[in-house]
Amino acid sequence: MITDARVLRTGFVPREVEHRDAEVTHLTEVLAPLTDGDPADTTLLLGPSGVGKTCLAKYTAEQLRQEVLDVEYQYVNCWQNFSEFRTLYRILEGLGKTIDIHRQSTPRDELFERLRTYDGPPCVVILDEADQLEQKRLLYTLHELPQFSMLLIANRERELFANADERLTSRLTGCERVRFDRYDSAELVSIMDARVKRGLEENAVERDQLATIADAAAGDARVALSVLRTAARQAHQSYESRITDEIVEASIPEARAERHEKDVDTLTPHQHTLYEIIEDHDAISPSELYEEYRERTDDPKTDRTVRNYLSKMDQYDVIEAEGTSRDRTYRSVSETFDRIE
């Protein structure tokens, strides 16, 4: 059944991306100055979840690295490395510049200094979920340094600029933007089909079944591939020679639940506390939520940071099993926040 499990994994960067020619061309043009040794403009990649922003950023940077030997790229997920120190550390670590740096005691300015004095090959820095960075000074610094070219990935521009000061906002408002729309069903089918050809035995899944998965995924390739992976694994474990319709039907909620669990695993301790409070209530007002969070936490974040977390959590309701109370709570909390803003 499964001939190459790697190609079904979420983090897999395919050799060819499907249906994103215009976006690939745009990004390649943005990065073109690097082929002559010049820095590229800072670029924002914007769009909802699962539309290929991360995949295309990595793919284009990889293509460039194959074309120009003397170029580096570093990828950091700011959702997991939300503090300035952690993101800086990850970039320097990738560049082999963290010798002698102690996570507890090295001052942040020392890390910034290492970034400024970096004299290796030009480097493309991909900051995924860049809106989650708590402090945005790092963006300003990277934007100013000619050794680095930044690709900033976020769902919405508004969140990316949320706690940026005027200096940074004025720098970034003029930068390049690549916008991504949701896929339609036929596009999702061909994204899955390319993986099926490389990762599953022939005739393991029918096109109609891929269409059913695509409809359930509602434009999100991450969800579509996750359902496909769950179905293939299920068929494999049941010694089926092909994926049955029943397996497809069962895999849709299962993949959503699995995805949700993984998302919860990636929450930071503060985000986790918020998540737990929301879980404990059928509905909760933003002020009650913030109060309870302050009570449960020794070093609470500001109200604004908390709102930022919540708007991020709101995304999970898209992939959450339909109609659970948690789902509704997320929606009501973040909608209320939206109304306040």
Residues of the shown chain interacting with ligand ATP in the complex, contacts defined by CB under 6 A = 10, 12, 14, 17-20, 49-55, 191, 221-222, 225
Using the minimum distance from each CB to ligand ATP, give the nearer residue, 258 or 303. Answer: 258
How far apart are CB 217 and ligand ATP at their closest, in Å? 10
Cβ at position 220, least distance to ligand ATP in Å: 8
Residue nearest to ligand ATP (CB): 52
Q: Please name the residue ranges forming H helices in 200-313.
A: 207-217, 221-237, 245-265, 269-280, 286-296, 303-313
DSSP code for 174: T
Nearer to ligand ATP, 147 or 334 (CB): 334
- For ligand ATP, the closer of residues 46 and 248 by Cβ is 46
Instruction: Output the smallest distance, CB 111 to ligand ATP, in A.
Output: 26
Q: Is the dihedral of CA 323, 324, 329, 334 positive or negative?
A: negative
Name the DSSP class of 206.
-
Nearest distance from residue 27's CB to ligand ATP, in Å? 12
Q: Which amino acid is at 185?
A: S
Which of 237, 244, 234 is CA-nearest to residue 203? 244
Give the whole-angstrom CA distance, residue 221 versus residue 194: 12
**Closest distance to ligand ATP from the beta carbon of 24 (Å):** 9
Question: Looking at beta carbons only, is 115 or 153 nearer to ligand ATP?
Answer: 153
Per-residue burial over 206-234, b if 16 or more Cβ lie within 10 Å, else e, is: eeebbebbbebbbbbbbbbbbbbbbbbbb
Q: Which is nearer to ligand ATP, 51 or 139 (CB)?
A: 51
Q: Which residue, 111 or 228, has its beta carbon nearer to ligand ATP?
A: 228
3-state SS class at 46: strand
CB of 339 to ligand ATP, least distance (A): 24
Q: What is the CA radius of gyration of the chain?
A: 21
